[in-house]
A and B are shown apart, each in its own frame.
Chain A
Amino acid sequence: MNRLAAAAIVVATAFAIVVPFFLKPFGIYLLSLWAVLTIAAIGLNLTLGYAGQVSLAQGAFIGIGAYTTALLTQAGVPYALAFVAAGALSFAIGWLLGYPALRVQHHYLAFVTLAFTTLVFLVLRNEEWLTGGIYGISGIMRPVFFGWSTAKPLDFYFLCLGVLIALSLATWWMVRSPWGRAFVALRENPVRALSLGLDTRRYTLMVFAIGSSLGGLSGALFAPLVQFLEPASFGLNRSFDLLLMVIVGGSGYFFGPFVGALVSVLLPEWTRIAEGYYLLVYAALVMVLMPLCPAGVIGLLERVLKALNRRPGTAASARVVEQ
């Protein structure tokens, strides 16, 4: 890692800690939403960006995690336990969803996971005895840890940020470990990976399971954040949105999901200047941005930095960047 990136991380973290103190509750809510969705996007980036397995199911896993957490905490289970359960259940279901990936790839896999997402949505909507059906689940309490209540927006935001940082560090460690290299090998050349003795079968299932469990953990925070769950929040559009975050941020770059989630959460809000037309403007912006930087925002930054490096006369700054 170079010095520039390290500085950027420090500044970004400082911003994430200081800025909310100057925001109104809705601003804090948006930042919390960003943190929560980033966790899910990190999971999808692992599955899609690193291991190259297309998944349109991440939204469903947020749903699975959110409903698990809501139902367990309302049944009296402590939040921390429900949080772990949400991750574990998503891990198990994600493992099973990995089996189709052993047989089919690319767009076929996209369609299988798309079908899975719609099936989960149907179950959430129809099994009224469990999920409340279209009426959803309301009155989800925010957790209390050893007397620290996260009921206030600011407290809850710091809980989300803390979980995000912890999970990012864990993922950072994982993508640098032999596992991370194995995931990239699945993306780059599965046949070669297999011939080099890598158990591609196990790693494919593993990357699906881990990516999905991050989706579930994101859901475990999503439930107390919005405090009201309905099936429509976890339909296909949510999965599309997460895919958009990963690609727009920069698929396969560690910090891609952070930027992508920021774009996806904040851009629609900023374009509210355009009032009723904000989603229209947002969609148009995405369509314009995609041909300009298909490798996402981080990919674009990397290209700009490289171009700056190559220019003579900026050798001094180039040295700083390379270190």
Chain B
Amino acid sequence: MVHFFQLLLSGLATGAIYALVAVGFSLLWQTSQTINFAQGEFVMLPAFFVLMAMNAGAPLWLACLIAIALSILLLGVVFKFVIVDPMLRHGVLPLVISTIALALFMKEAVKDFYSSQAQPFPALVAEGDVNLLGAVVSAQSLVVLAVAIVTVVGLNLLLNKTRLGRSMQATAQNPTLARILGIPVRRMVLYTFLVNAVLVAIASILISPIYLAKFTNGETLGLAAFVAAIIGGFNQVRGAVLGGVIVGILDNLSAAYLSSQYRAAFPLLILIVVILLRPQGLFGRAQERTV
């Protein structure tokens, strides 16, 4: 039982990171119909910004801030204006190809210009274990969990309690109506790209101490984020959050109790079942069909 509790908690920690990535993923989809196949690489990259800043002599906290700023600039602004905007009017598929090419580009760039080896990444807190209700939990996973919860709560406050957030939601749900109501739709779309960039940067800083920083990290992370976003419901922020948590916990529990070789298979099986039985996701709303 203690063992189960430990697994549950570490699953919750990874799941919280997946949730951040999945939320960003579904935000992009909602506001601009962008299926970002490079989302995993978006999580891989900011860790290298941190490492570069630290190599230049910056302390960890400053390096993290620099990484978030760079991420907003490159993965937010540049991504939107250079990759997404020219492709949007051509439909979903050509844009998918562009993001697939972007994923390859980012992987190769890191491999060629930084290193093909896994890089050790500084932990946010010193190594150590905390005794919690009889279970031994690493301090690191508690910090991960805390930061992720704060981020998700902050995002929820932004989206639901501020005028800006409400405008962003309106843009996501019905751009035409939002425009009629005087909401600057284009700027709101840009903001979602910036929010996504911040989310992936935070996820990157949280996950890299666990997985090490490596150019191939994006492959598994991206898949986990897709699965989480879809299981939860493509069109709901809270759906993506819950989806991320479900995938994280499932991943850890199935690896321990069922089969470690097939640990990646269980979320996928759930994905297939969910799409077939409830295409709108467990917590999503059904989308109206346009015929």
Contact = CB atoms under 8 A, between A and B. Distances in A.
Interface of A: 54, 100, 103-104, 106-108, 110-112, 114-116, 118-119, 122, 125-126, 191, 236, 240, 243-244, 247-248, 251, 276-277, 279-280, 282-284, 286-287, 290-291, 294
B112 interface: yes
A276 B96 CA distance: 26
B28 interface: no
A108 B276 CA distance: 9
B262 interface: yes
B101 interface: yes
B104 A290 contact: no
17 contacts: A103-B275, A104-B276, A107-B35, A108-B275, A110-B35, A111-B275, A112-B272, A115-B269, A118-B268, A122-B264, A122-B265, A248-B97, A277-B112, A279-B108, A290-B90, A290-B101, A294-B87
B271 interface: yes
Nearest to A279: B108
A106 B95 CA distance: 13
Contact of B87 (A111, A122, A290): A290
A290 B92 CA distance: 12
Main secondary structure of the interface of A (DSSP, over half): helix
Interface residues of B, number: 39
A63 B172 CA distance: 40
Main secondary structure of the interface of B (DSSP, over half): helix
7 nearest CB pairs, A to B: A294-B90, A283-B105, A291-B86, A286-B101, A115-B268, A283-B104, A280-B108
Given A236-B219, A247-B97, A287-B98, A280 B275 contact: no
B190 interface: no
Contacts, number: 104
Interface in B243-291: 261-262, 264-265, 268-269, 271-272, 275-276, 279, 291
B181 to A, nearest CB: 28
A100 B291 contact: no
Contacts of A115: 227, 268-269, 271-272
A286 B112 contact: no
B268 A243 contact: no
Contacts of A294: 87, 90-91, 94
Contacts of A248: 97
Nearest to A115: B268
Nearest to B259: A126
B230 to A, nearest CB: 6
A107 B90 CA distance: 16
